[in-house]
Each structure stands twice: as C-alpha cells, then as structure tokens.
C-alpha cells in the first residue's frame, strides 16, 4: 500500500503538469492563429554543421537560399566537420560559404559549432539572427519569415522551430516516430511556453540573436548538446521561445537497426544531461523561485512516454491488489498521456494511415523499455554514433 500511494503521488504530479501543458498547447494554437507578418526581415546567417553529408547538403542549402525572404538577406555557412567526402565542394557549388574543420580528437556537433563561433565570428558578426539547421533537413519556405516575426519582440533571444517527421507513412516505426515527434516537439514546447516556461532546443531549426550567441558562445559539448544548452539557458534565466509555424522536416529512421542507434544516442545523452542538471535546477528554484525554473524542474521529472505508461500500468496492478483508492489516479494519468499524443497528431494533421499503424505501438513501447533498461545498467554514451542511412534511391 505504501508503494502504491508513493507511486500515485509521483504520477499525479507529472500527469497534472502534463494536463496543463496539453491545455496550453491548444490555447497557444488559438493565440497564434491571427499573428501578423514580419514588418522587418533582418540579415540571417545560417550555420549548417555537416559531417560527410555530400548526398543531402546541396538540397538543404538550396532550400535555405530559396526561402520566402528578402533577397540577399540569408547567408549560408556550412561547417564541413572532419569530412572524408565531397561535402565541402558540393556545399560551395550550391551557394554556401564553407569552413573546414579537422579535429578527430574533439568530434561532435557541439564542438564544431563552438569552433565556428570562435574562429570564424567575422562571418556572422554583421547579421542580426543566427540560425542552426542540420545538413539533412527540409526547410519550409516560410521558416525565416516566421522567425523574423517572432524576433520583432526585443526580449526574445532564442527560439526553436517546429521539428516534424517528413516520412510518417514509410513504416510502422516512422509512424510511431511521427506521433512521438508531435508530442515531444509540438505539444510539450507549445504548452510550456504558453504558461511562461521554456521550449527545449531540438538541434535543428534553432535561431538566436547573433549578438547574444557570439557573446555567450556554444558551451554544450555532450552528445545531447541541444538539450544541454537549452537547460543551461533556463538556469541562466533565458527562455527559449517556440515558433510553431516555423517548420523544419527530416526523415526519421524506418528500420529497427537505424532506430536502435538513434534512440540509444538520444536517450543516453538526454538522461546524462538531466542527471547532471536536475540537482542544479532544484537548488536554483529554491534560491529564486520562478515559473521558468519550476517548469524546467517539472519537465525533467516527467519520464519518457514508455516509462510513464509502464508506471501507470504497474500502479493499476498495485492499486487493484493493495490500494483501490489510487486506481483513479493511474487511470486518469493514462488518459492524460493518451490525450497528449492524440492532440499532437491532430495539431499536426497526421495522415489517416498513422492512426492505423499506431495499433503496433505497444510492441514499440516494449522495445523502448528494453532499450532504456540497457542504458540504465551500462555507462552513459559519451561518443557520437551516426544513425545508419538508407542507400540512395
């Protein structure tokens, strides 16, 4: 009974928070419906970190340069990081400036970004905004217009666009991934920002005021450099705004071998960052209470979706056996997370086939729990392992 009650208290805490977040996501959608266009389109420098991306880099650079934006007000700088292929040459031919880095002892996206901001700051110093886009992204034509509109508010220093899966219908895994992205990359940041919290950075589709980032520098060098920097900004009192109409897309892994590498890197890196920063966040909240820090703490206490479902199912079993009064707590929590996932699908206008393929989601959840269990008993990931790519069509 004691275990059931303790679990019910924890579940009630994070599911209540998630319920508030879901409500905020819907209200945020209504609040942004009539947003006006940007009256100013400042110079934007776009940093594209790339490691052996000759296959996709030309398409990404071309989409950026062809965006709906003032002519000549977008500059693309590709960081060819430890490349052994023709990434640099292809990027130049596509219209980008290229800086090349060779440092095998300090591999990683965070290291490459920090190097470029230190060693080549003259390439960005005259721009007002600095965007970071991954080399394999599809960039919506209106991305930079939406960001320019958002940055008309002088208090905004950092913003994250909406990161969407572009191949939801390819397989069951890509459909499940699409649903996960809708929940993690849309519902949660939209809801958190609506109530005065912060969005997490997602690694691509990030935009900074250039002066802010050049002064601060890129200090996050873990394999989850985006999550790390977002949490560090939160501790510094800097909110990351969410630009839900500024959209970037990418294919998600469609095979189990690809998903295994990607998820191991993401989950291992994320858990390492949270374990390091959770005590600091709690201490900061006790010293200077704020909505921003409270939101950051509660967000870190929400377990991954698969773990949340497992905890609720275990809670229902424990409650039936020892504490029937706790059953409504676990049942309500399951309903909250179901509504959160469905809300993400509706807000992103998911194709009908995605809903059908989600019938296989329980199998993916079992696999994901196994992955998390393996990560919990082995040393944290410290090196970057690239997700295997599909062969060219």
DSSP output for 79-127:
EEES--SSHHHHHHHHT-EEEEE--GGG-SHHHHHHHHHHH-GGGTTT-
Axis-axis angle for helices 256-287, 361-377 (nearest 10): 60
Q: What is the pLDDT of residue 106?
A: 85
Alpha-carbon span 170 to 354, nearest angstrom: 10
Backbone angles phi and psi of 92, in degrees to 5? -65, -45
Distances (CA, A) of 376 to 199, 266, 272, 307: 26, 13, 10, 13
Q: What is the pLDDT of residue 393?
A: 47
Alpha-carbon span 138 to 140, nearest angstrom: 7
Alpha-carbon span 18 to 195, nearest angstrom: 12
DSSP 300-365: HHSPPHHHHHHHHHHHHHHHHHT-GGGHHHHHHHHHHHHHHHHHHHHHTT--HHHHHHGGGHHHHH
Alpha-carbon span 93 to 56, nearest angstrom: 13
Q: What is the pLDDT of residue 299?
A: 95
Coil, strand or helix at 45: strand
Token pair of 53 as six digits? 């991306």
- How would you label 181-218 residue by residue, b for 16+ Cβ within 10 Å and e otherwise? bbbbbbbbbbbbbbbebbbbbbbbbbbbbbeebbebeb
- Is the separation of the CB atoms in 77 and 98 below 8 Å? yes
Domain boundaries, the chain: 2-27+275-377, 34-253
Q: How many CA atoms lie within 13 A of 110 on its CB side?
A: 20
Architecture of domain 34-253: Alpha-Beta Complex (3.90)
* Stated length of the chain: 393
| Local mean pLDDT, 10-residue blocks, the chain (393 residues) | 88 96 94 64 96 94 96 96 95 96 88 94 94 95 95 96 91 88 96 96 95 92 86 96 95 69 65 89 97 96 89 87 88 96 95 89 78 67 53 50
Please tell me whether the overall predicted TM-score, pTM, comes out greater than 0.85 for this model. Answer: yes
Token pair of 213 as six digits? 């980032």
Alpha-carbon span 381 to 266, nearest angstrom: 9
């Amino acid at each position: 009974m004691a275990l059931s009650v303790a679990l019910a208290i924890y579940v009630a805490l994070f599911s209540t928070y998630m319920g508030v977040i879901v409500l905020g996501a819907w209200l945020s959608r209504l609040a942004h419906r009539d947003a006006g266009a940007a009256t100013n389109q400042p110079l934007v420098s776009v940093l594209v970190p790339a490691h052996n991306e000759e296959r996709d880099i030309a398409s990404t650079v071309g989409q950026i340069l062809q965006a709906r934006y003032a002519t000549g007000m977008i500059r693309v700088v590709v960081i060819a990081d430890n490349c052994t292929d023709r990434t640099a040459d292809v990027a130049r031919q596509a219209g980008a400036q290229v800086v090349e880095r060779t440092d095998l002892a300090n591999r990683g996206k965070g290291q490459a970004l920090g190097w470029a901001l230190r060693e080549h700051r003259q390439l960005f110093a005259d721009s007002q905004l600095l965007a970071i886009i991954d080399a394999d992204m599809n960039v919506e034509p209106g991305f930079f217009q939406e960001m320019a509109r958002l940055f008309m508010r002088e208090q905004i220093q950092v913003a994250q666009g909406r990161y969407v899966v572009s191949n939801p219908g390819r397989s069951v895994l890509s459909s499940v991934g699409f649903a996960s992205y809708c929940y993690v990359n849309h519902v949660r940041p939209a809801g958190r920002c609506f109530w005065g919290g912060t969005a997490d950075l997602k690694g691509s589709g990030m935009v900074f005021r250039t002066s802010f980032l050049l002064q601060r520098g890129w200090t996050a060098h873990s394999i989850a450099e985006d999550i790390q920097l977002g949490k560090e900004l939160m501790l510094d009192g800097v909110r990351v705004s969410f630009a839900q109409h500024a959209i970037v897309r990418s294919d998600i892994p469609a095979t189990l071998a690809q998903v295994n590498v990607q998820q191991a890197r993401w989950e291992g890196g994320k858990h390492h960052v949270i374990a390091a920063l959770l005590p600091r966040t709690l201490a900061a909240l006790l010293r200077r209470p704020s909505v921003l820090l409270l939101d950051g703490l509660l967000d870190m206490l929400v377990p991954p979706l698969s773990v949340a479902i497992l905890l609720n199912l275990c809670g229902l079993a424990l409650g039936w056996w020892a504490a029937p009064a706790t059953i409504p707590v676990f049942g309500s929590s399951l309903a909250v997370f179901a509504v959160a996932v469905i809300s993400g699908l509706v807000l992103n206008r998911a194709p009908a086939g995605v809903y059908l393929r989600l019938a296989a989601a329980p199998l993916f959840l079992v696999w994901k729990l196994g992955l998390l269990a393996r990560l919990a008993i082995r040393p944290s990931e410290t090196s970057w392992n690239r997700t295997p790519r599909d062969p060219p069509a």
